[in-house]
Amino acid sequence: MTEPTKRLAAASEDALWRIFTVPEAPDSTLSIIEQNLSQNLAGFLRESIVALEKPLWQIERDFQAHQIPLSPQFVSDYAESMMQKLVAHSVHTASPSFIGHMTSALPYFVLPLSKMMVGLNQNLVKIETSKAFTPLERQVLGMMHHLVYGEKDNFYKKWMHSANHSLGAFCSGGTVANITALWIARNRLLKADGDFKGIAREGLFRALKHYGYDGLAIVVSERGHYSLGKAADVLGIGRDYVVSVKTDADNKVDVAQMQQVLTELAAKNIKVLAIVGVAGTTETGNIDPLAQLADLAEQFQCHFHVDAAWGGATLLSDQYRHLMAGIERADSVTIDAHKQMYVPMGAGMVVFKHPSSAHAIEHHAEYILRKGSKDLGSQTLEGSRPGMAMLVHACLQVIGRDGYEILINRSLEKARYFATLIEHNIDFELITAPELCLLTYRYVPAQVQKAMAVATSEQRQQFNELLNGLTKFIQKRQREEGKSFVSRTRLTPAAYDRQETIVFRVVLANPLTTEQILHDVLVEQDQIAQQNKEFYPKLLQLAKTLTG
Amino acid sequence: MTEPTKRLAAASEDALWRIFTVPEAPDSTLSIIEQNLSQNLAGFLRESIVALEKPLWQIERDFQAHQIPLSPQFVSDYAESMMQKLVAHSVHTASPSFIGHMTSALPYFVLPLSKMMVGLNQNLVKIETSKAFTPLERQVLGMMHHLVYGEKDNFYKKWMHSANHSLGAFCSGGTVANITALWIARNRLLKADGDFKGIAREGLFRALKHYGYDGLAIVVSERGHYSLGKAADVLGIGRDYVVSVKTDADNKVDVAQMQQVLTELAAKNIKVLAIVGVAGTTETGNIDPLAQLADLAEQFQCHFHVDAAWGGATLLSDQYRHLMAGIERADSVTIDAHKQMYVPMGAGMVVFKHPSSAHAIEHHAEYILRKGSKDLGSQTLEGSRPGMAMLVHACLQVIGRDGYEILINRSLEKARYFATLIEHNIDFELITAPELCLLTYRYVPAQVQKAMAVATSEQRQQFNELLNGLTKFIQKRQREEGKSFVSRTRLTPAAYDRQETIVFRVVLANPLTTEQILHDVLVEQDQIAQQNKEFYPKLLQLAKTLTG
C-alpha cells in the first residue's frame, strides 16, 4: 500500500480501518523519519533541531488554530510539517554541550523498547489491563527499595508481590512522588482513633479538631523543591506551613536551626507532619545531613521523607553512596529514574520503608481495584497510567550496578574537573563546588575580582548587581546561539554577604560531555561577556576607579 | 558493530559510551523484534501474547529478584527474555475480541511518533526543556476547550498562549485531571479574603474557620468514578464527604434527590465545593442530565465539574454530541484522550471554562517556573512530564473531526447492534442499554427467565444469587481461555428489586470489532455456562420446581 491510500480522504470507513490495520509503508515519510531516528539518534537530533533559537512568539505562530481540523490529513504531510514546526524547535536535551538541565542522553535500547511499550498499551491501574507488567513494576519498586533500605531476602519474598502491600509507588514524576509520600505521612498521622474515622474519611478539619492541633507543618531546608509547596497546597496544609530552614555555606540544612524550628512549632501546637531531607538540591546538588535529620524525626516523632529525586541514583555507586548515609532511616524516599538513571521522561518513584505505609491511602472500587486484588491503582495517586516501569527495568538489567557505578562516578568526576577548570580561570569564580555532579559559578573578570576585594560593602553590592545583569545576559545569549546551554539560578552565598547572586548552573550527567566541551563553554562565555555593551563596560569602569 | 560488542562486558567505559552512541544494529534481536512490531502490530501482538492465561503467581516467578543485577546484560538477551516473561503475559488490549475494557486498538502512526517523542525527551514542566512542545500542548488544550465551550475566535487569540492563563491542564490521566479540577474549585472557593491569605497559603483548617463552614462536600451520582474519592482524600475534604446521589433506572443521577441533598448539606453548614456531573459512567456509559446539574450549581453557587473522561470524545461526533448538552456550562471538564480518542495510555486532560481558573493553584520557583514565563509546570499538579500532547495533536490532525465522527458513530451503532443481539437471544438479558458504546447484560437461560417471572421475592433472590455465581464463572473462564474478554461489574437494577446483580460489561470502542465477533462472544458464553457444574444445574433445577 502506498501512502496516499492511507489518507482518510473522504474519511471513508475503509481509510479509517486502514490506519488501525495497515502499518506505515517502509517508504512513507514517517517511516523514513523513523529510520533516521533509529539509525543515528544523535545525528537526527543534531540535524533536525535548528541550532539558532527562534523567539517563542514566532514558534507560536504555527500553533494558532483553535479548531480541530474537519478533514483528515495525510500522515506524511503531518509528519513533514511536524519536523518543521515542532522537532526543529524542540530542545536538544541529549546534546553533550547542553549541560544546564537534568535531562541527558538516552541509551539506544530504550527507543525500540518504548515503542514496544506503546504498542502493548497496557494500563497499570489494574491487573486486568496490565498482567505481567504489574509484577514487573513491583519488582522494579522492590529493587529500588533494596537499593535504599537493603532489607534481607525474606523481607522481599514476603512483601514484594503481596496484594495488600506496597514497597513503593510508580509515578509520572518526582512531584507526584513527593505528594504521595506526604499524603501517606498526613494520613498516618491523623489516622482513625476512637470515634474519629481518620482523615481519609472525615477530612482535615475534623482531623485537626479531633487531635487538637492548630495546624500542620512540613519542615525542610530553604533549598527544598517547589513541589513541596504544591504538596502542602494540595493536601490542605497550606504553603505557608512549609517551614524553611536556613542552609549552611555548603547549602546543607542547618540542623541546629531545624531543631529550633521544630521546638518552636511544637510550642505553637503546630504538628510537624514530616521533616524532608533533600538529597541533591535542584540548584546546587547538595545533600542534607540525612542521619541527623533522621535523629530529629525520631526525637520529634514525625515522618522522615527524603527527596532524592535527583540524588537517589548516587546509591548505585558504591564509591559515592556514602554521601547518602542516613537515607535508609527515611520513611519514604523519592527517586526519579528519568534523571540520573537515564530513563526517558515520565518515570518517578517513591519507596516506603514500611510495606503497609500505603494502607493510609488505599482506595477500592467495585468494577476495578477490587479488594485483595493486586491492582496497583488502589495504592497510587494516579489511576490509568502507562507501563513506564518497563524502561526502568530495562536500564537496571542492561546497565547493571557495574554500569551505573561507572556512569555516576564519571559524572561526579567530570563535575570536579569542571570546578578545577573554573578555579584556574582567572575570569571565573566557582560559587558552589560539586558534591554530586552539579555546580554553580559565574563570570567575574579578574580586574573586577581584584577591585571587589578592596571595595566597600556598598560598592560590592553595586558590583554584584552589574554582575547579575551580565550573568543573565551571557546565559541568555549562549542559549540563543544554540551551541551550548547552561542554566541559571539565584543564590545568596555567604561569600557575597548573602546578597542575591545570579549564577550559572551546570549539571554534568550526560556521559557524552567531554572535557573539551567544558573548555569551550567557558571560552564562549568569555567571548559573549566581552560583547556585552551594558554591564561589562560598567564593571570594568567601576573596577578601574578602585584599582586604577 | 555486532551485538556482543555492545555488551558492557567488563562494564568498560567504551561499552557504556556505545550504548549512548551506537544504535541497535538492524540485525540485532531487539531491532528484529521492533521490525515485526512495525510491520504488523496486530500480528506481533497476536503471536507474542499467549492466549491461554497463566496464573499470576506463575508469572510472578519471573519477577522475584530484588537485587539490581551487578553485571550488565546483552541487550539481545534482555529483549529475548522480556518477550518470554513480559510480552507473552501482557494483555492484548488491542484485540478486537477484548471488549471488556476502555483500551482499544491504536492507529499505526502513533507508534513511530511515540518513538520520536521519547527520542526528543522533552520535559514539559518548563519552556527551557520543551520549547515548541509548550505551544503545541497549549494548542491541544485550546482545541479541546473549543470542542467543549466553542468560544469565539478572539477568545482563543487572547488566551491560548497567554503566559499567565491556562485553558486547561495536560495530565497523565483522568484521576489527576479530576484532582486538578477539584483542587482549583477548592482554592477558588476558599480564596484570600481580608486578613485570610487563602487556603493555598494557610491551609484547609484556617480556611474553614475563616469562612465559618463546618465542612466541605462534593456531590455526585452513585456512579461517580472512584477518583473522586481519591481527590476528596488528597484534598483534605474526606471521602465521606463525597455525597452520593441515587440514580434513576437509566443510571443517570436523580436531579430532584440531588437538590434535596444540596439543601440538606446547606442546612448542616457543609459547603458544597463542587457538583460533579458524570458524562459516561465507567460501568454503564450513561450521561447525567448536565444542563439540570448546571442549573443546580448556579442555584447553590458552586463549581460545576463534568467528569467526561470516557464520554468527552462524543463531542467529536456531530450526530451524538447533543447527548452532552449542558457540558458547555461546566467550570471544568475532564477528558481522557487515551480512551475514545485512540491515543496511547498516559494522556488525560482537564479544560477550564475561565482562563484564569488555574491562578488558584499557581506556583512559582526561582530556577524554574519563573513568573511571567510560559512554564506549564506553574499551573499543573505534575512537575516533570513527557510531551504526550504531541500524540493527541497528531490524532486530532490525522483523523480530524470527520474521521472521529465515523469512529464514534460506529462505536455507538455497534453497541446498539450488540444490544439487539442480546435482546433477541432467549438465554441472555440486557441489563443496561447503551447510551454511548457501553452496555451490560447477563446470561439467564430461557427457562430460568420464565421461572423468575412467577417466582416469589425470596425465590427471585435465590435465583439472583445463583446467577451472580454463574456470571462470575463465565467471565473468569472466558478471560482465562484468552479468545475474548468482557469485564464484569455489580449493579443494583430496579428490574431486580435493587438486588446486587453481577453483570457482563462491554465497551465497544475498538474499530476492529466486527459483528461476527459479537456473535461469537455470546456463543462462547453460552457454551461456558453449560460447562458449569455448580450454579448452572442448580438454576435449572430451581426453575424446574417452579415451572415444571
Neighbours of B483 (CB within 10 A): 16
CB pair distance less than 8 Å for A216 and B203: yes
Distances (CA, A) of A118 to A104, A385, B86, B171: 22, 11, 14, 17
- Asked whether residue A305 carries a pLDDT value surpassing 80, the answer given is yes
Torsions phi, psi for A376 (to 5 deg): -70, -30
Helices B389-424 and B515-531, packing angle to 10 deg: 60
Residues of A within 8 A of B60 (CB-CB) are 135, 161
pLDDT of A11 reads 54
- Residue A55, chain B, CB below 8 Å: the answer is no
Kindly report which listed range (A18-32, A302-316, A427-441, B513-527) carries the lowest average pLDDT score: A18-32
Interface test with chain B among A35, A46, A382, by most B beta carbons within 10 Å:
A382
The C-alpha cell at A176 is 507526584
Residue A530 CA to residue A466 CA, distance in Å, equals 14
Residues of A within 8 A of B321 (CB-CB) are none
Beta bridge partners of A505: A440, A487
pLDDT of A51 reads 81
pLDDT of A374 reads 84
- Residue A195, chain B, CB below 8 Å: the answer is no
pLDDT of A278 reads 98
Residue B334 CA to residue B175 CA, distance in Å, equals 9
Continuous H helices in A425-493: 446-454, 457-481
CA dihedral B529, B531, B535, B540 (to 10 degrees): 80
Residue B504 CA to residue B429 CA, distance in Å, equals 10
- Residue A181, chain B, CB below 8 Å: the answer is no
State how far residue B547 is from chain A, nearest Cα, in angstroms.
Answer: 35
- Residue B371, chain A, CB below 8 Å: the answer is no
By Cβ distance, the residue of A75, A397, A512 closest to B398 is A75
CB pair distance less than 8 Å for A68 and B205: no
Could you report the per-residue pLDDT of A326-354, keeping only the tens digit for each? 999 999 999 999 999 999 999 999 999 99
Domains in chain A with CATH codes: 3-90 (no CATH), 131-385 (3.40.640.10), 412-547 (3.90.1150.10)
Helix H or strand E encompassing A274: strand A270-278
Q: With a cut of 70, list the residues of chain B below it in pLDDT.
A: 1-11, 365-371
pLDDT of B494 reads 83
- Residue A230, chain B, CB below 8 Å: the answer is yes
Residue B372 CB contacts under 8 Å (≥ 6 apart), including other chains: B163, B164
Could you report the per-residue pLDDT of A194-248, keeping only the tens digit for each? 999 999 999 999 999 999 999 999 999 999 999 999 999 999 999 999 999 999 9
Give the mean pLDDT of chain B: 94
With cell 501517606, the residue in question is: A184
> For the CA atoms of chain A, what is the radius of gyration?
26
Residue B163 CA to residue B374 CA, distance in Å, equals 5
Q: In this structure, is the dihedral angle defined by the CA atoms of residues B152, B153, B157 and B163, taken in order, positive or negative?
A: positive
Could you report the per-residue pLDDT of A46-100, keeping only the tens digit for each? 999 998 888 999 999 999 999 999 999 999 999 999 999 999 999 999 999 999 9
Residue A296 CB contacts under 8 Å (≥ 6 apart), including other chains: A255, A258, A259, A262, A275
CB pair distance less than 8 Å for B121 and A345: yes
Exposure letters B6-33 (e unless 16+ CB within 10 A, then b): bbbeebeeebbebbbeebbbeebbbbbb
By Cβ distance, the residue of A78, A215, A345 closest to B384 is A345
User: Among residues 401-440 of chain A, which lie with CB inside 8 Å of chain B?
Assistant: 401-403, 405-407, 410
Residue A428 CA to residue B185 CA, distance in Å, equals 49
pTM, two decimal places:
0.96
ipTM, two decimals: 0.95
CB pair distance less than 8 Å for B383 and A16: no
**What do you get for the CA distance between the two ends of chain B, in Å?**
78
The CB-side HSE value for A361 (13 A sphere, CA atoms) comes to 31
- Residue A185, chain B, CB below 8 Å: the answer is no
Q: Are A502 and A474 in contact (CB under 8 A)?
A: no
Distances (CA, A) of B408 to A173, A208, B342: 33, 48, 11
pLDDT of B367 reads 55
pLDDT of B11 reads 54
State how far residue A31 is from chain B, nearest Cα, in angstroms.
Answer: 7
CB pair distance less than 8 Å for A241 and B23: no
User: Among residues 271-290 of chain B, which lie with CB inside 8 Å of chain A?
Assistant: 282-283
- Residue A470, chain B, CB below 8 Å: the answer is no
- Asked whether residue A45 carries a pLDDT value surpassing 50, the answer given is yes
DSSP output for B181-240: HHHHHHHHHT--BTTB--HHHH-HHHHHHHHT-SEEEEEEETT--THHHHHHHHTTS-GG
Give the mean pLDDT of chain A: 94
**What do you get for the CA distance between the two ends of chain A, in Å?**
78
- Asked whether residue A1 carries a pLDDT value surpassing 90, the answer given is no
Q: Which of B92, B56, B481, B99 is nearest to A373 (CA)?
A: B56
